[in-house]
Amino acid sequence: MSELMIGLYVFVLATLAGREVITKVPPTLHTPLMSGANAISGIAIVGAIVVSASAEGTLRTVLGVTAIAMAMVNVVGGFMVTDRMLSMFRKR
C-alpha cells in the first residue's frame, strides 16, 4: 500500500472514531472538552508548520497549509465558544 492510502485509511478511521466519541458526550461536558481540544489543536498547528516547512512538492505543501488553516479555525472557534460560555457567568 502506498503512504497516501495508509494516511487516508487512518484519517477516515480517526474521523469515524472521533464522531462516535463526540456524539456520546453529554452537553454539560462539551465546553470543557472543547478547551482540551484547543490544546491538542495547538499542538497540531505546530506539527503542521514543521511538516509544511520540510515538505517537498506542491501537494505536500498545499496539504500542510490546509492542515494549518483547519487547525487554526478549530482553535479560534474553540476560544470563541469558551469566551461566550465564560461571559454567561460574569456579573452584569
The secondary structure element, H or E, covering residue 54 is none
63: CB partners within 8 A, 6+ apart? 55
Three-class HEC string of 2-26: CHHHHHHHHHHHHHHHHHHHHHCCC
> Would the pTM of this model clear 0.75, i.e. be above it?
no
Cα–Cα distances in angstroms (integers) from residue 88 to residues 30, 37, 70, 81, 84, in the given order: 16, 21, 28, 11, 7
Cα–Cα distances in angstroms (integers) from residue 51 to residues 9, 10, 46, 65, 78, in the given order: 20, 18, 9, 10, 24
Domain ranges of the chain: 28-87
pLDDT at residue 16, rounded to an integer: 92
Three cell numbers written together for 84 = 461566550
Over the chain (92 residues), what is each successive 10-residue block's mean pLDDT? 86 89 76 73 84 85 88 84 80 75
pLDDT at residue 31, rounded to an integer: 67
